[in-house]
Chains A and B, each alone.
Chain A
Amino acid sequence: MNAFGPAESNRVINRAPSPLVARALPWLVIMAGSVAQGMPLIASAPVMPPFGFLLLLAWRQLRPGVLPVWAGLPLGLFDDCYSGQPMGSGMLLWSAAMIGMDAIEIRFPWRSYVMEWLVAAAFILGYLLLAGGIAHVGGSIPVLNALVPQLIFSVLTFPLVERFVAACDRARLWRFRAFT
């Protein structure tokens, strides 16, 4: 027995990972991130990192096969319901991010951790700028000074989000009692 569940040696025989949990958990974690990002504080400025989007990036980087390319559409729709952005901005940007991550993976199959972080930082920068631009169509004042602290905070939070996703990824394959 180690910290992450039963080790190979003393595995109980009628326990198996549930395919439902293994498939649904990434989606549920990202959706929970979308709902939770507005709750910890009632903010008067955009200060929280976009946790839903960070979780999407982290899952995509750590477990490339687990989310299909089109996952940006439903997850972005869900995020739009809670983020306060105009409806459709998440659907568009999250879909574009999934396609972009796929292109980067094909172009650079072998990546170091620093490069993964830089890629994620570039995606976060693009996402925040574009989302800010979309939210501000028809507005008069560019609000870059509100975005810079959020960007720095998001990029610095990303490794922690990856840690969290790694922990969820272990939980994804938890062994439950199998009825067969």
Chain B
Amino acid sequence: MAPPNTRRTGFSKRAQYGTFFGYVAALAGALVGGGVLLVSLLDHDAFSGVRGLAADVAAPAGSAVAAGRSGVQDAGATLYGWLTWGTTNKRMAQELELARVRLAEARAVSEENTRLKAMLGLRDALGPGNPKPVAEARLIQSSATSLRRFATISAGSDDRVAVGMPVRSPLGLVGRVLEVSRSTARVLLVTDPESLVPVRRARDGLPAFAQGKGDGSLQIKLINLGVNPLKPGDVFVTSGAGGLYRPGIAVGVVTQLSRDGAVAKVLSDPTASEFVSIEQVFAVAAGMPEALTPYQPPVPERKK
């Protein structure tokens, strides 16, 4: 089909001006976009109001889709389970035996732990091991096309969700709240390239940072450089440093060693976690909100 030629406008002055100003507007649009981009790169919170409003508007549709999504995923899991039930059953029976033994051991350790703490007269300053979450929510949308990893949850300032709160699923850490609007909140997932979570190896407390890679995995960066002590299968949990995440939330398991650390798989894959709970910021929950204020060097007094 021959394309309509919109540039050749003939003698109509009105059509000529219309075409001309169309191109002017297009170029101006590109320039405006560039300007807005520059502003939003310099100040990340610059347009959070607009985004929050947009997320609130789309929230009902997102919730409806989320309900359907879990059904579809269940169907896939059922089909897969039907095909592999024999081997899975056998493997799980073995794992269950092992887990029973481990559970008995863990109970013994836990009892010993309380006994020792009682002997030392230590008050459990950090409260119970599993604090009550601020809110429970669904993941209703994610940035599935962008390199940045954000998700939207169906709870906002109306549910007392605030910026900085950690978001977790029963399987482990999902991310933290970045922007809050009335009925939704934007979550920075742990796989985002700008997310940095202080972690430690669950086995011996080896400190490290877990940075997102943007492709669904984490880069474990060791704090102590030297011989790489990591092994595939090492589990990393949050260390509590920085005061945002309470210690002991599972983050990732090492899959592949790199030169100065390792690549880890996220334990609570957001694809599989339907409901998430939003927890209080660790430092606030532990009664030390002043730990979150950034360090300000003392100003030397000016002599008169």
Contact = CB atoms under 8 A, between A and B. Distances in A.
A37 B193 contact: no
Contact of A87 (B51, B149, B150): B51
A132 interface: yes
A95 B148 contact: no
B184 to A, nearest CB: 12
Contacts, number: 209
Contacts of B34: 88, 92
A84 B38 CA distance: 16
Nearest to A84: B143
A70 B6 CA distance: 14
Contacts of B58: 35, 82
Interface in B26-45: 26-30, 32-41, 44
Determine the interface band of chain A, counting residues with CB < 8 A from chain B: 35 or more
Given A81-B50, A143-B213, A40 B145 contact: no
B26 A81 contact: no
Nearest to A63: B4
A73 B69 contact: no
Interface in A33-55: 35, 37-51
A44 B269 contact: yes
**Interface class of chain B by DSSP:** mixed
Given A46-B145, A146-B214, A87 B4 contact: no
Nearest to B34: A92
Contacts of A87: 36-37, 39-40, 46-47, 50-51
Given A41-B144, A132-B147, A140-B193, A88 B26 contact: no
Interface of B: 2-7, 22-23, 25-30, 32-41, 44, 46-47, 50-51, 54-55, 58, 61-62, 65-66, 69, 139-152, 189, 191, 193-194, 211, 213-216, 219, 266, 269-271, 273
